[in-house]
Every structure is written in C-alpha cells, then in structure tokens.
Structure 1
Amino acid sequence: MHKFLLFLLVLAMLSCENKNLPEKIAITTNWEFKGVDTLDWQSARVPGNIFSDLLEKKMIPNPFIKTNEDSVQWVSKKNWEYKTTFSLSKKQLQKKNIELHFEGLDTYATIYLNDSIILKANNAFKKYTIDIKKSAKESNNLRVVFENFNDIELKKEAEIWYKLPVQNRVYTRKAQFQYGWDWGPVLNSYGIWKEVSIKAWDDVIFSDIYIKQDSLTVTKAVLSADIIIESNIEKFVELETWINSEKILTGIHLKKGENKLTIPIKIDNPTLWWTHNLGKPYLYRFDFKLFRKNKLLDQKIIKKGIRTIKLIAERDTIGQSFYFELNGKPVYAKGANLIPMHSFQDKVTNEKYEKLLSHVVTSNMNMLRVWGGGIYENDIFYDLCDEKGILVWQDFMFACAMYPGDATFLQNVSEEAEYQVKRLRNHTSIALWCGNNENSEAWKRWGWQENRGEKEKQEIWDNYLMLFDSILPSIVAKNSNTDYWETSPKYGRGNPKYISEGDAHDWWIWHDEYPFEHLQEKVPRFMSEFGFQSFPSFETVKYINQKDEIDLKTNAIKSHQKHPKGFELIEKYMKRDYKIPTSDEDYVYVSQLLQAKGIVMGIEAQRRAKPYNMGTLYWQLNDCWPAISWSSIDYFGNWKALQYKAKKAFENVLISTVKSKNGYEIYIVNDLLLETKGTLQIKIMDFFGKEIWSDTSRITVKADASQRVYQLLKTDVDHTKHFLSVTFNNSSSFFYFAKPKDLMLPKEPIERTISKTKNGFSITLKSNVLQKDVFLFTSEKGHFSDNFFDLLPNTSKTIHFKSNSTNLQQLSIKSLQSIQE
C-alpha cells in the first residue's frame, strides 16, 4: 500500500512538472482529399500521398503490378487538395506561442487556416513552421492545396534563355526518382508526406542543440553544446545537462527572444563509437532540462557517440587518396548505395527500417551511401545507423542533371541544405556530405555541351560551381564538423584519373559491356558505385505478373525493366559465363548468380588492393518497387544471390584467390585492427571429393592489411573437373579454374533432413558430389541463414530457415548442375 501511494505521488509530481512543458498535438485524424476540380471528399491518411490514398479507396489500380503504372499517370497531372479540422482547448489557446509544423509537403502547396492563406510551400525537403497564435481557434479548419508541378516547371523553364540538359524535375525540389529512373517507375506524387503537428508553449523552449566534439584523446573528450533557447521572459533559469548519470548545472539569465549559449562538456576516459565490425557503436545519452523554480520548462534528449571521422583526400605519389579515418584508424568502407525504400514513403514503417538495417549489419556492411536522387531519410534511419554502427555517406538531393542558378532557386536550396545539415548533424553515423550524384561527370562526358554556345556553357557551369563548390560546402562547414565532397564520382570513367584520384563510379561494366574481369584490372581508390542487374525473387516475379508460374515473357515483366537494354545485357553477359537456361524459373536463378559473380569479383579485387583502394559500395542495396534491377535485396526484402555472397565477401577476414601470370595467388584481407594468426590449408580436389594435392602452413596476417599468403604454381590441374579449397581459421573459400559454363559438374541428388526449431526450421543437406550454387526456395515466408552456396562432397551443411510457418513441405532445391541439360 505504501509503495502504491508512493507511485501515485511520483505520478502526480511528474504530471505537475510536465504541465509546463511545450505541448505537441499531432494532426493525424479527420483528413480528407479530393481533386480540386471534383466535388467528392474521401478520407485520407496523413502522413501519406495521393497515390496511397487513391489506392486505398480503389480509385486506381495497383501501379506496382502488371502494366498498371501507365494507367495512373493522370494522377500527376491534376491539382489535389487535403483538409481536416482540429480542436484546441482553452488551456492550449492560452499558451503564449502556438505554432503549426509541416515536416514535409510534396511540393507546391498553399496552406489555408480558417480560410486564410498562411503559407505557400515550394520544397519537399524543408520543414515549415507557422506562427498561428493570432489565427488559431477552439475549432479550426486546415486545408492544403497542391498545385500541378508540370505547369510550374514549364513556367520556370520558360524563364531561362536556354534549355537545361534535363528538364522538368530540376526546377522542383522534390525526390528526383519520382520522375522515373532506370530502376524505378514514373510515379510523381503529391501529398503531406511527413508529420503535421501543433506545438504550444509558454515561456521558454529549446530551439536547437548541437553537440560539437572539440578534441579527443584516450583520456578525455572535450565537447561543447551549442544551445539556442527561445524565450518570452527575462528571468533566471537553470539548465541541467545530464551525460549518462553525470550532471552539469548552469544558471542562465534569459532575455526575450533568441538566447545562444555554449555549455562545455568533458568526459573522462571516453568510450568510443566504432562501426559494428571494428568495435561497439557506443552512444552516450545527453539529457538537457530547463528549470525555473523547480518547474521543468523543456527537455531534449540526444544520443551521440564519441568518435572522430575524417575523409582523407590527400595528394600522393599515385594521385589522390580517398578513405575514411575513424578514431585515427583507416577504416575500409564496405556496403552499398541506398535508394528510397518505396515509391510511396508512407509505406516505409519503422519496422521496415529496422529490418533492412539489421540485414546491413548481418551482411558485414559498415557504410551506406544515401543516393542523391531520393530523399533525406527519416530520423529513424539515422538513429538506427547510430545504434548499429553503420557509417552514412549522405548526398544532397541532386542527381544526374544540371540545375538552375537563379537567386530564387539558390535561396530555396540553401534553406533546404541548412535545415537538413542541422537536422542530421548530431548523428554519429554521418561521415560525409556529398554535393551531388554524377552531375559533374554528366556535364563533362554525357554530351550535354554539344550544340551549345560558349556563353551558355559558361553560365550552366558557373551555376553548378555556385551551388556545389560554394553554397553547399559553406553551409556544411558553418553548421557541422562533417567533411564535404563536391560530386560523386570525382572523375567519370572517360577520364583516366578515375582510378587514381578520389572516388569512382565504374560503369564500364553493364553500360559499356566490359567483361567482369575489367574490375580486377582497373581498381580505383574508392569505388562508390558499380553494379549489375538481375531478376528479383520468384515471389516478386509472380507478384508483378499476378500469376503463380514464373513467366518472363509478359508485358508486365517488360514494364518493370526500366533500362532500355536491360534484358539484352543480362543475356549477353550470361552467355559469357553460364549456359543459358531453357526455363524461365532457371533463368531467374542464373541471372542472380551472374550478378553475384560480377559484383563479388569487383569487391574482392578492390579489397585485395587495400590500402590503395579503401572502399567498395555497390549499386544498389534495395528496390523502391518490384523490378528487374541492380538491387541485392528485392522489393519484398528477399535476399538475392548477391546479398548472400556479398555477406561473405565483406567478412572482416577475407580469403581471395586470383589468377596471375604464373599461376594463382591467394590473399588474406584483414580489416581487423589486430593481426591474426592461424593455419592456412590449401587443397585441390575433384568434384567427387578426391584430394589431388594439398599444403598446410602457419601464417600471420598483419592488422588492417591485404596480404598475399600463397602462390600456387600448379599446372597439372584439370580446369573443368577440379577446384581449389582454401581455409584459414574458421573461414573458407572455393576457387574454380574455369567459367561456370565449362565446369563438368556431376549430377547427383542432394539429401535433406528438415526439423522444426523454436523460430523456424533446421535444414541439413548432404551430397556425394560437389553441388555448385545450391539454392533453397519455398513459398513460405521467411529467411534462409545461407543460400546460393557451394556444398562440398560428402560434407553436411546445416541451414536455418527463420519463419513463422508451421511446416516446410514445399522446400525446393536447385544447384547449377541440376538445371543444366
């Protein structure tokens, strides 16, 4: 009873304390939408977008299936409006400050409150805050009218005396991929795509807190918190700053208006934040509280890691380095490029962010590049990257275009950039801000300067430099301690410097049809993009077609291939390395093997070249819709062969074998910060398990290094019937002396034993012969712990299938030899 009374007392104290805090009221209910030229209002979801609302009302077909994308294009050509009502209590109306917050409006919007215009918005990447103290009532009508961006873009285009290389989208500050890309649909949306809320407060409020790291040693971290407080009073207040369980108390004499102060913070013997593959991504909890006469006025909590992160881009005897130094240690970047996770951002839940980023960690990736044609991701994305130890290369949202340079546009993007840099600067995971994706390369190499006068070319390039070489780096430097890189790549593949200076995008593969072996011959300092397409999972193919069988010859499949030569290039590359399957199901399977073969060849070559090369980020991690694309994880979250094989290729300790002039060279690449010792065991075997030759030695691999540990000079190998097995400690690698299509793989069945486990199934496989690229698949929902692997002869391998299913009767198994005639 005494405990219960104590609990009620604490609850009462907290309630009393919290009544002085700023009050946030989310405006998520009662929303309706309609076309401006129609009469019928329909219920809507906010946050959301027009396509999601129309789809929920069954007013349009699902644009992700069949050829339905074409039949919904009318949606983007109309004007749309949304409305709601919300109430404020008398107590809320008595607050001295009442603000209306729009976290994201896409894009050209006029906002009416109680039939009066209070805002005209023109940027999907800016937050809008409106003082509504004078106009707010107990009952309020809020209306948002979205104007057709096509009409506005045509007007903006007409104001310039020349035509920019890419038209329409460059004039509008919204997600550029919505206009269509070579992996995504044209689904250009409107809507209130982020949260809408009211914030009501009285005397003081934290306007901004930025925790800067001033210096760091093993024994001490010196930080400072730059704090901005908005105040309606001229009073003395107390600021409590809690770092974990330590408290700093500061007295402040507030003036009316904006108050800026800096609080010094020192942490003895700091625990450092590391990427998950090198240590623990430890986060400190900073809790800021404002008090007046023991009453809590406002509170802000920030989780932040202590670390140093620098981009080292320095001239050297080769050209210019490009690598990230974390806590004074060069860190090899392993990962992929991230595009938006859905064409309609309201469909991306926090659970989906958690799932994808957990896959990133499981796959041994330590960096993601947020690509510049998408969106600045939601807060939860960066929170999870902080917590999981994933570095973020953050592009500004400019991609594959030249942008206008008029004063209005530059002011708009300056406000966007300042908002986004301030929003993200406390995130430990942010490693780099990059100005744009491929804009410079496009201007210099894609033929955009042809048939233009010198004055025209000069103005376009001057506008480029103004934005990416002046405005954006100045905003980053002024508002953060994060490094800035003007454009990715530094040099396009038409410039020979692309392999010796800065970062590179290597699209000789795919676009220029170079063989995969090119990736072994031309290794840049940092590979920030390279990729190859494949078909998605069977589930996704069936979903596109809305058919139970795998059929690749439908118009639906054609409409989900957005590269004009996509099918042709997959086939052309497949013929080089594989026998072309006769069935569509097998073709999907081999297309994934093909993609994985090429990209992993590149990953291994780049890692072997360490420290000349210090990063490999392939294109691309994910899909925004069901598609034939460069992704390694498809629209439904299914891992393709590339994701499974990249997981192995990204391990901290990698075994990699490569053909050389005199034979074969075996490398151990060690990303760990400590040297590693162990037994190196090398075997040449035939496909029935017979050992042809072997050697064993004890080796030591240096810390953070790539080291050639063995040179194999054997010449009496049957390239079509033998393979190389290399093991080092708990890692193993298999190397084949011939292309997959030339291997004389024996055909034997694969034995299976399936047993139920607590959270899925245990599957044990065994065969009398080597089974190449074993692929397990089922219609049951779940995830295989490993797939697309080689099963050694006469050796059991156990796979776990994580699933909520109660049975696994429909498990199917393929291997490369099982599909060949």
Structure 2
Amino acid sequence: MPETTQIDLGGVWSLDAEGQRPALKITLPGDVHSALQEQGIIPDPYFGKNEAEVQWVAHEDWRLSRSFRLDASDLDGRWYLDLDFVDTVATVRVNGERVLEADNCFRRYRPDVSRFLVAGENTIEVLLHSPVEAGKAVHARQPFEVPWTRNSPIPYGNMLRKPQCHFGWDWNIALAPLGLYGTVKLCKLDPARIEHLTVKQRHLTNGSVELDVVLTLFAVDPCVLPVEFEFDGETVRLDCGANAGETVLHQRFVIEQPRLWWPAGSGKQELYALKVTLPGETVTRQVGLRTIELITDKDEAGSRFAFKVNGREIFCKGANWIPADALFSKTSPEKTEALLRSAVDANMNMIRVWGGGFYEHDGFYDTCDRLGLLVWQDFMFACNLYPSTPEFLDNVAAEVDYQVRRLSHHASIALWCGDNELVGALTWFEVSQKNRDRYLVSYDRLNRTIEAAAKKANPELIWWPSSPSSGYLDFGDAWHADGSGDMHFWSVWHENKSFDHYRTVKPRFCSEFGFQSYTSNLLIRRFADKKDINIASPVMEVHQKNPGGNERIAGTMFRYFRFPNNFHNFVYLSQIQQGLAIKTAVEFWRSLKPHCMGTLIWQLNDTWPVASWASLDHGGNWKAMHYQARRFFAPVSLFAIPSADGKVIDMAMVNDTPHPTEVSAEFFTVSMDGQRSPLTTARGTCRPDAASTLISLPAGSVPEGRLLAWSYSASDGSSGRGHHVNGTYKQLELEPPGLAARTVRRADGSYEITLSSKGLALFVMLEADIGGRFSDNAFDLTAGESQTILFTPAEQGAEAEFTMRDLYSCQAVD
C-alpha cells in the first residue's frame, strides 16, 4: 500500500455557531455567508434590502469541522497543516489541541501537527472569530485612537489584516465575511518541502539571458535529498544538502536566444515552463523573460513616470481591479479569467490590483502573464489609518515577505506600491488633523516596514511608496499636483467639475479617475422587484454606496443631456454619460504622450450588482463605457481635442506601435437628420510611440445645428470613426432616426443583428435579456448607414431578446 504523504482537506465540512442547530454544511474553499444562503438560513444578501438582514452573521463565531483518517504506518515523520487565505482571525485545533492562532488573511500558515495525530479517525476544527469583535478588541489595545474610513459602515476593519472592502466601501456591500479561501491540506514533510520558488533574470548585452532559479527549502532536520530542475527542455538533477530550517539553492540556466515576453499590444507573451521536483512534491512556474524599469527622471514639468519594458517605453492603458465578488464562493477561476480577458479585449495592457482587496490567487497572475496584462500591485492597505505597534508591524512584515516571494516570478508584475491613499487619509480624520505629526510618524513606520520587508524578499523589485504619490518622502497633494509621480484625479466626480476639467490637468500617470453609472438593466431586474424599479426607491439607494452618487449622476445629466423619458433609458444614458466622461480624460491625456504615460480607469469590475464606476457589470457584461474604451484605447487613434477657448479643434493622432504610422482621415459635418456633408481630408504620419496633431480645424467650420464627424484608416490596417459636438448634447435638436433591426439566429447559437438608420442615431446601444457580449455597441449611424453586430450568449444555447436604444429615443416625449 503506497505511503500517504498528503491529504486534501477541502470539500464538505460541518458548520455551526452557538445556538445554531442542527449543524450545517460548508464547502471549502468557501465562505460562511454563501453556505448559509445555500441552506436557506439567510436570504440572498445582494437582493433588495437584504444586506441589513444578514449583518448578524459577522457578529458570530463560526465553527468548521471535519474528520480524516490515518493508518498507524502513516504516523512516522513530520506532518503539517498547509493553510492560506484564512479569513481571518481563527483558532485551529487538531483532535482538540490548539495548533494555530491565525490573524492575517494574507499569510500562509504551516503549523507542525505531528504530535497531535493518531491512528484512525482524527478531527480538525477551525473556529472563525467574529471579525467585528476581533477588530474591536485590537482597537481597544491601541496606545492612541486609530480611526477607520467612513467608506466602511462596519467598524474596526483597519485593525485586521483582512480585505478592507469587506467592511463596506463606496461600491461594496458591507458583510465582513468569514471563510477559508485557499489551500486546506495535511502534508508530510519527507524530508523537506518547497517553501518558495522564484527567479531572477539578467539580460546580457549580447542578447542572451541568465536565469537564476532560487529555490527555498524547509526541513526540520538536516538531510540530503534529490532535486530536479527542468527549464525549457533542459534538466538538471542534483543531490542537495538541506539544513534545519530554510536552505536556499540556486540553479542557473542560460538562454542564448530568448523569446521575450511583451505586454498586450506590444508583442507576444512568450512563456517558458519551469519545474522543480523533490521526493513527493513538484512545483511549476511559467516564466516570461523581460526587462522592466520605472523611469522617474526629472524634467521641466517635474519628473516622469513611465514604464520601460525590454527597452521600450509603454503607454499603460488599463483599469483598477477590485475583488471579483464580495463573497468568495460566488467567484471562480473562469469568471476571473473572463474579466481579465475583457480588459485585454478593450485594448488594455495594465491592471492595478487595488490595496483594499486581496493579493489575488496564483491563477489571477498566471492569467495576466498569458494575456500580457502588466500588474501594478498594491500592498493591502487602503484609505485608513493603521496601527504601528510592534505586534502589528511584525505581522505586516511576515505578510509582505510571503506575498513578494510568492508573486515575484511573474513577468506581469511591474510595480509594488506601498498602499492606496494612506497619505491623503492623514487629513481625513479630526484626530489626525489635530496631531498630524503623531499620525505621520505612525504612517512612516508602517510604510518603511512594508518597504524594508519587500526589498529584503526581492531586492530587484520596483517600489513605489504610495498611490497617489509625487515621489519618495513626498507627503503632498497628489490628487491635484500633476507634475510628478502618479495622480488620482477625482475633481470631476467628487467635486462636480465639468468633463472639460479633465483637460486642465496634465498628469504624468493617472492611476485613478472615474465617473459612475448604473449597472445594467439586466442586473437591476435581478435584484429589484418591479415596484422598486425607480431611481429614488430605497432598494436602488441600497445599491448605491457613494453618498450623493445618484444625485451626481442625475445632476450631470441635466448639464449635458435632455432628461431621459423612463427608468431604463435613464440607466442607458447614465452609461453613455460615464463613457463620455472617461473618453474626455483618456483622449486628452493620451494626446500628451510622452508627458503622460499611463491612464488607469477606476474601475474595471464590480463585487456585486451596484451603481459604480465599473466598466463591466457584476456578471462581467460590458457596460457602454467598456465598448467605448476599446475605441479610445485603440493602439492607433484619432481624437478631437478642443482648445480651452473652444475656437479650435485639434485632431490628435496617437500611435502606440513601434513603427511610424500613416493616418488618412475624412471629415464631415452631419445634420440632425443624419445627412453628411464633406468638410476636408487630411493625411499625416505619426512617429512610433508618439502623439501629434494631424490637422487643426476651426470650430466655426462646423455650422450651428450640425456636428463634426470623421473616419480614418491607418497604415497598420486599423480604422475608426468618431464625432464631436460643439457645446452639449442637450442643445441638439435630434430628429427621429428611423432605426430598424433584423435578427438572425446562427447555427452556433449566436445572434447576428443588422441595424440600419434613416437618420442620425447617436450612441446606438443593444441590450439583451441574458448575459453575453456584443461585437460592438454604443456606436453611431448616419442616414443610410447600417452595421451588423454579433451577440454571443454567455451560456451556450441560451435564447435572447434584444432592446435597441439611442440618444433620440431615450429622451423623446412623443
């Protein structure tokens, strides 16, 4: 009979809380809320106003338990539990004996349990303590007040090393969930285990690459064991000595003619397979060979902020990532990959893993490697003040060490950032305003702890102290200062500035900016009863977490549009409005290249169905902005940039390719009945990785009552079109466009929809009553034009019905 060396403890466990009988079930990995919902103990937290009905769950301690068997012959040697993503404060017992006190969701725990195991049946119990009560207890032990963000209605989240958005955010439901979301195994140490496996690259002037494979082993007793390294078809077998504790081994491989890894849109994502084998254990990695630098040279405006990959500066186009769901059990690797693929399909090449969520699972970063998504990785601190006691900082240092060692081998990791908005948070609370020095010193202790631990774990990583930040040890206002570092520009949304205000700043790299819209009509019908389909209903207000958010959406609509004629058209127009806001910013900032070298939209995805800044809804369906993003992030683009006085429209060419690109454009004016009149043509060449003006048009060349439109083609084979309105859309006296649609179901289950227009149809938007993706959306048609759109259902074979909207129909009163 083969020796047992590993027992997977995932699967069905018993679940109970005091007074909760009979015992329930929970499937691990998983979370408590989802288990309770599946068994009818709580309602769906995402529906209606149910959030309030489930608050009690986070105030309870929850006991998870199961049994497993071992033969007497298995008891020899050392056994340990392997646990990660334990959320969060937990006591673990084996056969009634305490083996672990966990208090950090972002660490891996491997306690030795050898002396507690018995032949036959064994029991394991995980007691998950209430995060609210645990946080309260830590808060009471602080030497001075440490306040938490007003974004979180559940208190004390900053006391715990747990995703901060779990306590509620201005886009997230407040649940403070509990669970185990990762590995749950019992393993035998025979005679050593792999603790870490990472790589270091040295790119030589002759074009070859030296790859240093760094293997960290852990053993209880000194031993000699065979180790096999395999990389790109080359295998090296060694007998290696390991000391008690950790032993670090190095194995070098030389790649004479390396195939380089490039970000999406800049080249191929070449990946090499690395495998390391010990007796009873094999670990694999996918390795991308590339160089990466952060350029922060000083210049006349301040200092640059640009990423250089393989010697070429890359304009970063992307979005901020928040957890894929508020509850772990409602996520899946497939859903996560679909969200990331949507980012790449919209011409994005960077994702920022925001600091109020998780360091994501390995599969997330593997997918980013395969897709070519550069990763801006925050450490998990956001919008709060934090403790700086020795106990807290030691816990943070261990967390940072583990995460940096776990993730540093990924080609996609571009930068490690100390936190999100903690410098700004120093000014957000009365106690820190009155005693800023105390809280600044406390913050500095935390930030230096993170930096020191990160650089010790990987001396070669790219470090950035905070986001936003004008630079190292600069504690100034990076929300409004645009000369150096990265910027969070929120004046349009939070300060109610006009969309044109985006053109008053010239960031070097904007890592956050956003504008809200409602989620899709499809999802609203799933969380709201018909009686609650109203902008001001309590249910809709529960599904808006930013104070004043609904008013801001509606108020902005008054500024730019005629008000929509029903609720569903209001939802539609909110998404068009969102896209226009972000389009205004991105197009101007891309036209500043290379002064500005990055725009990361807030945000890519949603954690639950909610009004938010996301471009994808909670089901992963594309909102209008995501379709628009695919156009305004196109590698070769032509944008209309009006002058500050409105008298001139500069047509900016942007070229993100490494080759000179010729752009040919035709310009028209379009009447309100959709008739096009030729205005002029232009042809020009844009240098590689640059932006320049193709032509400047007098705004007066577009007569009143008409809009400017254009189409272009480029020598790289790409093409596009667009329009520009002098003034606001509510000034347009639109006429009925005479839109028609013909739908054909194809043999593969997709739908082919051909739309035609007799007049001017702006922002034509197709909606389906099921999840899926359209090949294009939120586009324009002029008189006599037609366009064929493909719709692919998310579930194969699902039948769909479609609704068509455009700007005229959403506000018509006849």
| TM-score above 0.5 | yes
User: Are 2:511 and 1:558 aligned?
Assistant: no
1:769 matches 2:752: no
Cα deviation code 1:440-494 (max 9, x no counterpart): 01214x35456634xxx323211211111x2111122122222111111115995
Equivalent AA in structure 2 for residue 34 of structure 1: D
The yes-or-no answer on 1:363 pairing with 2:346 is yes
Aligned partners of 2:532 and 2:538 also within 8 Å = no
Q: Structure 1 residue 816 and structure 2 residue 804: aligned?
A: no
Q: 1:784 and 1:411 mapped to 2: Cα distance?
A: 50
Structure 2: gaps (5+ residues): 149-154
Structure-2 separation of matches of 1:814 and 1:744: 17
Query: Is the contact made by 2:749 and 2:798 (CA closer than 8 Å) also made in structure 1?
Result: no
Structure 1 residue runs without a partner (length 5+):
1-15, 291-295
The secondary structure found in structure 1 opposite 2:116 is coil
C-alpha contact (below 8 Å) 2:191/2:223 kept by paired residues: no
Instruction: Supply the distance in 1 between the matched residues of 2:87 and 2:111 (Cα, whole angstroms).
Output: 17
Q: Which residue of 1 aligns with 2:9?
A: 27
Maintained 8 Å contact 2:532/2:539: no
Tell me how far 1:109 sits from its aligned partner. 1.0
- Answer yes or no: is 1:794 the counterpart of 2:779: no
Equivalent runs, 1:461-500 vs 2, <5 Å: 461-468=440-447, 470-480=448-458, 481-490=460-469, 494=477, 498-500=481-483
1:168 match = 156
SS, match of residue 408 in structure 1: helix
Contact residue 178 and residue 189 of structure 1 kept, 8 A: yes
The structure-2 alpha-carbon separation of the partners of 1:617 and 1:218, relative to structure 1 and needing over 3 Å to count, comes to: farther
Q: CA deviation at 1:307?
A: 0.5
State the secondary structure of the residue aligned to 1:461: helix
- Paired with 1:540 and 1:739, the residues of 2 have a C-alpha distance of 30
Q: Give CA deviations for 1:262-283 in whole Å, capped at 9, x if unaligned.
A: 1122111111100121111111
Q: Which moved more, 1:313-322 or 1:182-191?
A: 313-322
Residue 67 of structure 2 is aligned to residue 85 of structure 1 = yes
Paired residues for 1:141-220 under 5 Å: 141-166=123-148, 168-217=156-205, 219-220=207-208
Q: Cα offset for 1:135? A: 1.5
Compute the displacement of 1:752 (Å): 1.9
CA distance in 2, matches of 1:54, 1:766: 50
Separation (CA, whole Å) in 2 of partners of 1:628 and 1:721:
33
TM-fit CA distance, 1:103: 1.1
Q: CA 1:165/1:705 → structure 2, altered by over 3 Å: closer, same or farther?
A: same
Counterpart of 2:366 (choices 383, 390, 404) is 383
What secondary structure is seen at the aligned counterpart in 1 of 2:556?
helix
Segments ≥4 residues shifted beyond 6 Å: 232-235
Instruction: Measure, in 2, the Cα distance between the counterparts of 1:158 and 1:52.
Output: 31
Q: Is it true that 1:263 corresponds to 2:246 in the alignment? A: no
The Cα of 1:233 is off from its aligned counterpart by 7.5
Partner of 1:12: none
Rounded to whole Å, the distance in 2 between the matches of 1:814 and 1:235 is 71
Q: Tell me how far apart the structure 2 counterparts of residues 650 and 66 of structure 1 sit (CA, whole Å).
A: 36
Contact in 2 for aligned 1:545/1:554 (Cα 8 Å) = no
Cα deviation 1:377-401 (Å, max 9, x = unaligned): 1111111001110011111111111
Q: Contact conserved, 1:493 with 1:507, CA < 8 A, in 2?
A: no
Deviates more, 1:806-815 or 1:69-78: 806-815
For 1:690 and 1:451, locate their aligned partners in 2 and report how far apart those are by CA, in whole Å: 60
Overall identity of the aligned pairs, in %: 32
Aligned equivalent of 1:4: none
How far does residue 797 in structure 1 lie from its aligned partner after superposition? 0.8
How big is the shift at 1:669?
0.5
Over aligned residues, Cα RMSD in angstroms? Answer: 2.2
- Does the 8 Å contact 2:386/2:443 carry over to 1? yes
* SS of match in other structure, 2:235: strand
Q: How does 1:233-272 map to 2 (within 5 A)?
A: 237-254=225-242, 258-272=246-260
Counting only pairs closer than 5 Å after superposition, residues 570-589 of structure 1 correspond to structure 2 as 570-589=553-572
Q: Is the 8 A contact 2:673 2:737 kept in 1?
A: no
**Residue 206 of structure 1: SS of its match in structure 2?**
strand
Provide, for residues 156-195 of structure 1, a one-character-per-residue CA deviation record: whole Å limited to 9, x for no partner: 3233343223261111111111111111111012222323
Q: Residue 173 of structure 2 aligns to a residue in which SS? A: strand
**1:799 Cα deviation (Å)?**
0.6
Q: Cα distance, 1:714 vs. partner?
A: 5.7
- Name the aligned partner's letter for residue 264 of structure 1: R
CA distance in 1, matches of 2:635, 2:765: 25
Q: Secondary structure of 1:185's match?
A: coil
The corresponding residue for 1:68 is 50
8 A contact 2:12–2:28 mirrored in 1: no
Shift of 1:759: 4.0
Aligned residue for 1:155, secondary structure, equals: helix
Question: Aligned equivalents of 1:318 and 1:359: distance in 2?
Answer: 35
- Deviates further, 504-513 or 732-741: 732-741
- When the two structures are superposed, what TM-score results if normalisation uses the length of structure 1? 0.92
- 1:700 is matched with 685
Secondary structure of the structure 2 residue equivalent to 1:31? strand
Separation (CA, whole Å) in 1 of partners of 2:476 and 2:246: 50
- Give the number of equivalent residue pairs: 792
Contact 2:488 2:511 in 1 (8 A): yes
Paired position in structure 2 for 1:99: 80
**Contact residue 296 and residue 485 of structure 2 kept, 8 A:** yes
SS in 1 for 2:679: strand
Letter in 1 for 2:649: Y
Q: Give the structure 2 partner of residue 111 of structure 1.
A: 92
Given that residues 687 and 723 in structure 1 are in contact (C-alpha distance below 8 angstroms), is that contact kept between their aligned partners in structure 2? Answer: no
Residues 176, 373 of structure 1: 8 Å contact kept: yes
- 8 Å Cα contact 2:667/2:708 also seen in 1: no
Distance 2:244 2:146 in 1: 48
Q: Corresponding residue for 1:345?
A: 328
